[in-house]
Structure 1
Amino acid sequence: MGVVVPLPVFSLMLVVFGLTTGEFVIAGLVPDVAAGLSVSVPSAGLLVSAYAAGMIVGGPVLTALTARVGRKPLITGLVVVSVLGNLGSALAPGYAVLLLARFVAGLVVATFFAVAIATTTAMAPPGRQPSMIAKVALGMNLGIVLGTPLGTFVGHHFGWRSTFVAVAAITLLALLLVLRSVPAFPAAGASAAGELRVLADREVQLGILLTAVGNLGAVTVFTYIATLLTEFGGFAADAVPVLLLVYGAGAVLGNLLGGRLADRALMPSLAWMLAALAVTLLLFWIAGDNRVAAAILTFVLGALAFAIIPGMQTRVLTAAGAAPTLAIAVNASGFQLAAAFGGWLGGQLLTGAGAGALYPAAAAVTLAGLGIALAMLRRDSAGDRPQPLGARGLKSVDPQ
């Protein structure tokens, strides 16, 4: 099959592209939304938190409650809600309605990711599950590399509302492809109680905590990256889409590199990458007002921010062998906990200490994530290591 993407997989990948663009594009539009709705930049930044809050609530709850729903009708319902949420964002008459629309759009995202991975695994030929899942996950990287800067460009030139219309249109097109090409699969058949039981596992809890804390610094900076690059870095607003493209290119490279490093040495590689991420954030604080340095560091930040994600997902999947679908959704919620708190934390720092203060604060919380990773590494060395995926009856899949 080579590099050819089958139509069913491509349709799911296109949905992921739309959802990812809808999630991250607001970071490049925060100043535009703030000006358009006559609210402060920190208030506009809370729109990121609203989307994240929707994912946090929707991930575990919707995944558990819909465990007995067939995958194709479930995918259809989830995508329809996302489309309506983005159209509501485009038509919102004021800040409160926009906040609610972003929350609704975020509700379905974590569950869709989980169901899309399970569906792709079911469609893949024997032994080809990892490569098929990687192709679906390519939609996330493309959403960051292409969708976010293009959406920011559209928002700057045609108004921020037009960006959400475009996201809704792309996602709706993807749904039509899903309806045409993705075969019907039965529900997993597990009960809600059975699915939720995985949350009591201590190793799952530690893995989710690592995801939430370890990502907090990077997502805090990314939430306000447009403001940081213009106010602290001295770039013109027109340069932000280009720099988001640079960030996205780093994210693609980091995702691939992080997955390979995690295959070789999961927790040691996570520890080293978290340490490098903290150093990068401190370098942004020191040299981020130099445009050349800021551009280079933007690429490095994107690479490291996404290099840590494959290993974090693998750790949770390894621990939660009994309910891998819910584990994917809950870990996505852990990431969004970081995004939600990051939007609030960054807003407080912008209002008080100023834009430059975000970098050392982000470095500090990243070091806290490093502390959790080192504690988990010590547990592994003491023999408290989760069993490998294959030993717990799971198909070995690439979580990215």
Structure 2
Amino acid sequence: MNENFMKTKPVLPLLLSMSLPMMLSMLVNSLYNIIDSFFVAKISEDAMTALSLVFPVQNFINAVSIGFGIGINAVIAICMGANEVKKAHTAATIGLFLAICHAIVLTVGSIFLMPSFLKMFTTSQSVLSLGIQYSNIAFCFTIVSMTGISFEKIFQSVGKMTVTMISMCCGCITNIILDPFMIFGLGPFPAMGIKGAALATGIGQTVTLVIYLLIFILRPLSVHIHPKYWKADKKTIGKLYAIGIPATLNMALPSLLISLLNAILAAYSEVYILVLGIYYKLQTFLYLPANGIIQGMRPVIGFNYGAKEHKRVQQIYRIVLIMNGMIMLFGTVICLVIPDRLIGLFTTNPDTIRIGQTALRIISLGFLFSTFSITASGALEGLGKGIQSLIISLCRYLLFIIPAAFILSHLFGAVGVWHAFWIAELFTAFVAIALRHAIHE
């Protein structure tokens, strides 16, 4: 098995072959999230509220899983590119072991702290009971979930994107099929309510992991995981965390941003909070293909960086920048031309549609600027430069947008928050351009 195709195949076809499977699997995953919420909402409003309150903790666990997985991915890809195969084996073995350790700590911690966490946001005994029922089952699958994500990133590091697509899609489809059966008691299944939703999610995650393990055993990768490659290599562990911790924070920052913006908008009307929520649902479908391209780029740019193919690294970066720019241009045009129809997908209230179309038109002015930040941040993660990537994300999700939103909301009301988006994207683009020299080193 040879990964040299990542430094010999023409860049555009290579990126498309690596990115398209990830875009499809992310689309299925987004569909699963929507359908899962749809079925839970059918139980009761309390069940949906409980799910919403548990979500931040689930999101944090997911951020740790994927963030550290990005660290595993980058270190393996760089080592393979440099033809340091034993170091890649060591990185994979240590990375998987540490991921399982993280999962054990998070499982115990989340189950133990969940009752106290829920009481911070609700006094309803019904919501509290439903939240604990859901979390006690869902968090028991944390080890399964985090192990599966680690294997996902290991497969991606050697270019096996189709395997990750198949595994993720099978898990999500299993979950979608089981949800109504286990929640409402269809066929041979008893009606389990919100417990059924949690169990269906866990079974879906188990299916994904089992597929990874079967393929890993039956069709071994060029990267091996074995106790003989385990050693307390401080340098490798340091690299994994140097990339993994910033990547984790990168994924956790959007949740913090939404909470802070909700606090600012709450002073005006709940309608603005609703519009912000609708925007984030809509922007998922814009940034989803862009993130698929980023995921496809990471192992390619890391492999070529390790192989000291610096001109090719620059070429990869430029092509991804153009591809993401085209996606963002499309999104800008759509939001400027038919914002009322986009908002109308989620509400029929004319006041909400009026406020929402204004928000979309203003926010969309920053989409093209965001091309620089999301592409540079993803490329820097692939090169193992986690700190530089974190700086870009901090600027984009915290340092620029929150002060701008606070000041402009006092000057222009809630509409000032919408202007803060494109202003933050503009200034973050300058930061990303300033940091891009790290990509050309």
Give TM-score, length-normalised by structure 2. Answer: 0.44
Radius of gyration: which is bigger?
2
Give TM-score, length-normalised by structure 1. Answer: 0.47
